[in-house]
């Protein structure tokens, strides 16, 4: 079974998605997600010009060899563009293998380790009261784990909070240049500790609470935040600090028992190797789309399991339902699965383009039993929503210094 064609689609049903379709000479096809938010067309060009021509004629069953060919074989390893391209191909090949076997991908990985996949939803509000009202509404829908984000008084915009924007916070489709946002660590500290204090008072102790710092703090500031949040028993504190120096998490770890999660921007196992083997984190959040697909995430999950680190895959709206489906198969299998981030399946238009039978009930999701990944892609519907240039925001301190967004 040889690869006979590779097609790349970019569609913007509310936000941009890059979809890879690998076609075989026996008439099968597989789908993969290669979306890199704000840099979509770099991946498209890389796939069209540098990847697709090399794969035509190769054995579509040789997933591992193709992964190595695109990683070791290009000399220029790693990198977000490269790894998103590998991810798109890798997911599509797992999809094909499942279709050939007549089995869902989780069966190829080793079978199910659980009946359902626990999810965490997002409650984001314009102030603490608003955030907690939204959290209560999610609890009423059955969610048992909720990420709380709230606007920081005194800042014009806060990460994770919609404000007056109609669409999800990262979508900048009508503004073709990156918007700038301000940041103040002291103002944030005043809000965030109070948010979790009031959350426990109002929501009780049974719900799991999470928070994403989005890398705005230095390691010692993260250590202090972790300590201040200890009484409120978070499931995890996400991306407290950037960990380009993986050792810097020792500072945070030494000071707090608040569980730590990181990894959504990571592209390879090497980005999290030291964090995992030194047990400096509790959850690894790497996404299949950004880190080389199912093949890489399986490797990371197995490695993490040795060190009691659980998986908690990234589930932001800039990952397409194909990535979510790939995560669902990994989550169903991984013995050390922790929790899956979930923000719905996108706009009505997106749901017409990406169709699947993943069920969500009482804060848990149920993996598809269809052969392969279990997602279909409607090419005609996708063509109605062409690519729109779009950027993530950049962040600056109040004195103008560029900061981590
Ligand atoms: O493209 C960036 C988003 O995926 C990111 O900001 C979302 O941090 C995020 C999260 O935890 O979902
Ligand atoms: Mg995050």
**Ligand 1 atom nearest residue 319's Cα:** 4
**What DSSP string runs through 129-197?**
HHHHHHHHHHHHTT-SEEEEEEPPTT-S--TT--TT-SS-TT--TTS-S--EEEE-HHHHHHHHHHHHH
- Among 114, 63, 99, smallest CA distance to 340 is for 114
Average pLDDT of the residues of the chain: 96
182 C-beta closer than 6 A to ligand 1: no
Q: What is the per-residue pLDDT for 198?
A: 98
Residue 57: Cβ-neighbour burial (10 angstroms; 0-12, 13-18, 19+): exposed
Separation of CA 392 and ligand 1 centre (Å) = 10
**What is the pLDDT averaged over residues 181-210?**
97
**What is the pLDDT averaged over residues 274-297?**
98
Q: What is the per-residue pLDDT for 184?
A: 97
Residues 6+ apart with CB under 8 A from 72: none
Residues paired with residue 8 on neighbouring β-strands, in sequence order: 20
37 C-beta closer than 6 A to ligand 1: yes
CA 380 centroid distance within chain: 27
Report yes or no: 265 and 290 within 8 Å, Cβ to Cβ. Answer: yes
Q: What is the per-residue pLDDT for 254?
A: 98
Q: What is the per-residue pLDDT for 86?
A: 98
Q: What is the per-residue pLDDT for 165?
A: 64
- Percent of the chain residues topping a pLDDT of 70: 97
Separation of CA 123 and ligand 1 centre (Å) = 14
Residue 159 has pLDDT above 90, yes or no: no
Separation of CA 191 and ligand 2 centre (Å) = 19
All structural domains of the chain, each given as residue ranges with its CATH number in brackets, are 3-103 (3.30.390.10), 108-370 (3.20.20.120)
Separation of CA 26 and ligand 1 centre (Å) = 38
Residue 176 has pLDDT above 90, yes or no: no
Quickly state the pLDDT bin for 166 (edges 50, 70, 90).
Answer: low
Q: Spell 224-233 as b/e; 16+ CB within 10 A means b.
A: bbbebbeebe
**What is the pLDDT averaged over residues 200-218?**
98
Question: What's the rounded Cα separation, in Å, for the pair 203 and 319?
Answer: 30
Report yes or no: 379 and 29 within 8 Å, Cβ to Cβ. Answer: no
Residue 332 DSSP one-character state? H
Q: What is the per-residue pLDDT for 168?
A: 62
pLDDT for 44-59, tens place per residue? 999 999 999 999 999 9
Residue 172 has pLDDT above 80, yes or no: no
**What is the pLDDT averaged over residues 6-30?**
97
| pTM: predicted TM-score of the whole model, two decimal places | 0.97
- Among 276, 353, 264, smallest CA distance to 310 is for 276
Residue nearest to atom 8 of ligand 1 (CA): 214
Residue 173 has pLDDT above 60, yes or no: no
Question: What are the catalytic residues?
Answer: 159, 214
> Looking at 63-72, 195-204, 212-221, 385-394, which range is the least confident one?
385-394
Residue nearest to atom 5 of ligand 1 (CA): 316
Residue nearest to atom 7 of ligand 1 (CA): 316
Q: What is the per-residue pLDDT for 354?
A: 98
Residue 348 has pLDDT above 70, yes or no: yes
Residues 6+ apart with CB under 8 A from 335: 113, 305
Report yes or no: 102 and 371 within 8 Å, Cβ to Cβ. Answer: yes
341 C-beta closer than 6 A to ligand 1: yes
Quickly state the pLDDT bin for 390 (edges 50, 70, 90).
Answer: confident
Q: What is the per-residue pLDDT for 164?
A: 62
Separation of CA 177 and ligand 1 centre (Å) = 19
Q: In what order do the strands lie in the sheet with 29-33?
A: 3-11, 17-24, 29-33
Q: Is residue 44 helix, strand or coil?
A: helix
Q: Which residue has the higher pLDDT, 92 or 172?
A: 92
Q: What is the per-residue pLDDT for 170?
A: 58
Indicate the top mutation candidate among 168, 210, 212, 242 to test ligand 1's pocket, ranked by most ligand atoms within 8 A of CB: 212
Quickly state the pLDDT bin for 171 (edges 50, 70, 90).
Answer: low
Residue 194 has pLDDT above 70, yes or no: yes
Q: What is the per-residue pLDDT for 404?
A: 97
Residue 150 has pLDDT above 90, yes or no: yes
DSSP E strands in 187-251: the ranges are: 208-212, 234-238
Q: What is the per-residue pLDDT for 175?
A: 61
Q: What is the per-residue pLDDT for 236?
A: 99
Q: Which ligand is nearest to the CA of 263?
A: 2
Report yes or no: 98 and 369 within 8 Å, Cβ to Cβ. Answer: no
Residue nearest to atom 10 of ligand 1 (CA): 316
Separation of CA 140 and ligand 2 centre (Å) = 24
**Ligand 1 atom nearest residue 343's Cα:** 12
Report yes or no: 83 and 47 within 8 Å, Cβ to Cβ. Answer: no
390 C-beta closer than 6 A to ligand 1: no
Q: What is the per-residue pLDDT for 263?
A: 98
Phi, psi of 205 (to 5 degrees): -105, -5
Report yes or no: 340 and 315 within 8 Å, Cβ to Cβ. Answer: yes
15 C-beta closer than 6 A to ligand 1: no
């Amino acid at each position: 079974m040889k690869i006979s064609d590779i097609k790349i689609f970019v569609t913007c049903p509310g936000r941009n998605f890059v979809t890879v379709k690998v076609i075989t000479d026996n008439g099968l096809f597989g789908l993969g997600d290669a979306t890199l938010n704000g840099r979509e067309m770099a991946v498209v060009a890389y796939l069209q010009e540098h990847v697709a021509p090399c794969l035509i004629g190769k054995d579509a069953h040789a997933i591992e060899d193709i992964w190595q060919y695109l990683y070791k074989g290009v000399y220029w390893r790693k990198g977000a563009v490269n790894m998103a391209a590998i991810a798109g191909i890798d997911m599509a090949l797992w999809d094909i293998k499942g279709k050939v076997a007549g089995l869902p991908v989780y069966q190829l990985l080793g079978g199910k380790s659980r009946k359902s996949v626990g999810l965490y939803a997002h409650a984001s509000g314009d102030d603490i009261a608003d955030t907690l009202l939204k959290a209560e509404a999610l609890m009423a829908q059955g969610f048992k784990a909720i990420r709380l984000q709230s606007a920081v008084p005194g800042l014009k915009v806060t990460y994770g909070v919609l404000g007056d924007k109609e669409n999800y916070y990262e979508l900048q489709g009508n503004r073709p240049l990156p918007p700038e946002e301000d940041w103040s660590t002291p103002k944030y500290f005043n809000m965030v500790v109070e948010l979790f204090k009031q959350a426990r008072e109002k929501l009780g102790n049974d719900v799991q609470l999470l928070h994403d710092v989005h890398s705005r703090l230095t390691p010692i500031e993260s250590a202090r935040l972790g300590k201040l949040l200890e009484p409120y028993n978070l499931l995890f504190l996400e991306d407290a600090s950037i960990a380009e120096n993986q050792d810097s998490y020792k500072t945070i770890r030494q000071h707090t028992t608040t569980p730590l999660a990181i990894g959504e921007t990571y592209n390879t196992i090497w980005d999290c190797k030291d964090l995992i083997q030194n047990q400096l984190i509790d959850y690894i959040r790497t996404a299949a789309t950004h880190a080389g697909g199912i093949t890489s995430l399986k490797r990371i999950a197995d490695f993490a399991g040795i060190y009691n680190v659980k998986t908690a895959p990234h589930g932001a709206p800039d990952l397409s339902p194909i990535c979510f489906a790939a995560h669902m198969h990994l989550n169903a299998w991984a013995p050390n699965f922790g929790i899956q981030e979930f923000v719905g399946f996108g706009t009505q238009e997106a749901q017409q383009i990406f169709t699947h039978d993943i069920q969500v009930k009482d804060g848990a999701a149920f993996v598809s039993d269809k052969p392969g990944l279990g997602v279909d892609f409607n090419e005609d519907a996708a063509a109605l929503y062409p690519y729109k240039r779009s950027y993530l925001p950049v962040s600056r301190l109040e004195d103008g210094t560029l900061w981590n967004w």
